[in-house]
Amino acid sequence: MNDITVVPVPARVEPAPGVTFVLPADGVIRSDSASAGAFLAGALRPATGFALPVVADHPAPAIELRLVASGADEGYELDVDAGSVVVRARTTAGLFYGVQTLLQLLPSSVDAATVQDGPWTVPGGRIRDEPRFAYRGAMLDVSRHFFGPEVVLRFVDELSRYKINFLHLHLSDDQGWRIAIESWPELARSGGATQVGGGAGGCFSQAEYARIVAHAAERHVTIVPEIDLPGHTNAALHAYPQLNADGTAPPAYTGVDVGFSTLTVGREATYTFVQDVLREVAALTPGPYLHIGGDEAQSTSTEDYLAFMDRVQPMVTALGKTVVGWHQIGPARREPGRIAQYWGHKPEPDEDLLAAIAQGDRILLSPADRVYLDMKYTVDTPIGLDWAGHITTRTAYDWDPAALLPGDADVAGVEAPLWTETVATAADIHLLTFPRLPAIAEVAWSPQAARDWAAFRVRLAAHGPRWTLRGVGFHPDPEVF
């Protein structure tokens, strides 16, 4: 295990020199978790061609997945000797992450969709691993450009390989409304009918959204839905004229400017609308978080913004969810457990962030100059933006979340957003996501002391052939490949 190419790097690795496990053609998977066993078998069968039955008990299983009584929530132990591979974890999430590590220890050809030549070897030794942060996230903006369920499901699959456990979906903005609300049907029909640059746009039906939630849950990824309020609301205002102060709907918006729209804070109809939307979204989302945006509300006065948040945040709590908002929510009166998502990128202190910290908010780190996946790698990157600078893979990797904020800040974790002003296809998503997202995943998962750029770039480069086999286009960052 001295030369393993696992990403994120495990907390502790103890190699067993000279020891190798070879997966036999008649091997079985003995699993205490039907879901973990089925996932591993499904991942191994296409390339190996082996049957790999999943059984509850067997005298000599080739691979064993065991649930045990102790350990960290998402931690796992992996032991490899010449005769077996054993993954132990206290939770099914831990088993899943141990399986992901095991798959990365196998030859890269295991990711092929057709039968490949073996042998299927795993280096001997022991791994003890657990995450640094409980929240390890990515965000996909489906509002600026709409991406249908199949694209989102594929995105979930790729995220989960790197132990990302939250996917934040940005479901509403000026350019498009992307989730059907039964009590306000024009949000889907009219508010979802366009996107940046024009085009058909689109909207998830509630059944499609539920499918995404369920698929993600099978991979231990929790969906965090965002309904951006009170700004970024032109699509809703276009769909329902009665939400506008003058009763006149603005035209559909296909540009990329921000800060020009706002809900009418002083009207009760606004809060009926918000309550209905949040209620339906919460009912579709079993995860603990409901994101209410709160950023770039330049068209809402400070007084109105605070009054709006005083009304809306308790709605979230009453629905059994925890409030998440962009860090501009910091000065608003805090609901218990609130998370403020910091996206700043300037060295001077941000007053809204400091207000959030002072109120005891947990802080989700999304510094734009480190983890915004929509930023270009270099000036020559064909898509992307550059207002927060260029972000190479090393830039995304070479920082410590604990050093970014004042010492009294409670860091919930790290999330890498992908905004889609310039992102129109699944290939665009892959290009901007890889190889930077695995770098950010290691920032969020691995102990700071275990991370080193020189070693990481070698491990990461070994994932290029895996992405190629899976049809994931990526940026050939010269610092890595």
- How many Cα atoms sit within 13 Å of 237 on the Cβ side? 26
Amino acid letter for position 382: P
Q: What is the C-alpha to C-alpha distance for residues 80 and 20, in angstroms, rounded to an integer?
A: 8
Q: What is the C-alpha to C-alpha distance for residues 390 and 386, in angstroms, rounded to an integer?
A: 6
Q: What is the C-alpha to C-alpha distance for residues 55 and 68, in angstroms, rounded to an integer?
A: 17
- 337-350 pLDDT, tens per residue? 999 999 999 888 79
Determine the average pLDDT of the residues in 362-386.
98
Calculate the average pLDDT of the chain: 97
Active-site positions read 296
What domains sit in the chain, N to C, each tagged with a CATH number? 12-129 (3.30.379.10), 135-449 (3.20.20.80)
User: Are 159 and 218 contacting, i.e. CB atoms less than 8 angstroms apart?
Assistant: no
Task: Tell the burial category of 376 from Cβ atoms under 10 Å away from its Cβ (0-12, 13-18, 19+).
Answer: buried
Q: What is the C-alpha to C-alpha distance for residues 189 and 304, in angstroms, rounded to an integer?
A: 29
User: Are 325 and 250 contacting, i.e. CB atoms less than 8 angstroms apart?
Assistant: no
Strand 410-418, strand 85-89: pairing: unpaired
Name the phi and psi angles at 67, rounded to 5: -90, 130
Would you give the distance in Å from CA 326 to the centre of its chain? 16
Q: For residue 210, give every residue at least 6 positions away whose Cβ sits within 8 Å of its Cβ, in sequence order, or none.
A: 284
DSSP designation for 57: -
Would you give the distance in Å from CA 399 to the centre of its chain? 19
How high is the pLDDT of residue 186?
A: 98
How high is the pLDDT of residue 289?
A: 98
Which residue, among 223, 3, 217, 239, has the nearest Cα to 124 in the 3D structure?
Answer: 3
In the block, tokens 């908002």 appear at: 325
In the block, tokens 């057709």 appear at: 114
Amino acid letter for position 146: F
- Reported as a pLDDT band with limits 50, 70 and 90, residue 444 is very high
Rounding to the nearest 10 degrees, give the CA dihedral for residues 181, 151, 441, 432.
-110
Would you give the distance in Å from CA 412 to the centre of its chain? 14
Strand 12-22, strand 121-129: pairing: antiparallel
CA-based radius of gyration for the chain: 23
- Quote the percentage of the chain above a pLDDT of 90: 96
- 406 vs 383: which has the higher pLDDT: 383
How high is the pLDDT of residue 399?
A: 97
- Reported as a pLDDT band with limits 50, 70 and 90, residue 412 is very high
Q: For residue 85, give every residue at least 6 positions away whose Cβ sits within 8 Å of its Cβ, in sequence order, or none.
A: 21, 62, 63, 64, 78, 79, 102, 122
Residues in the chain, total: 481
- 263-319 pLDDT, tens per residue? 999 999 999 999 999 999 999 999 999 999 999 999 999 999 999 999 999 999 999
Q: For residue 11, give every residue at least 6 positions away whose Cβ sits within 8 Å of its Cβ, in sequence order, or none.
A: 128, 129, 130, 446, 447, 450
pLDDT higher than threshold 80 for residue 2: no
Which residue, among 311, 184, 298, has the nearest Cα to 241 in the 3D structure?
Answer: 184
Entry pTM: 0.98
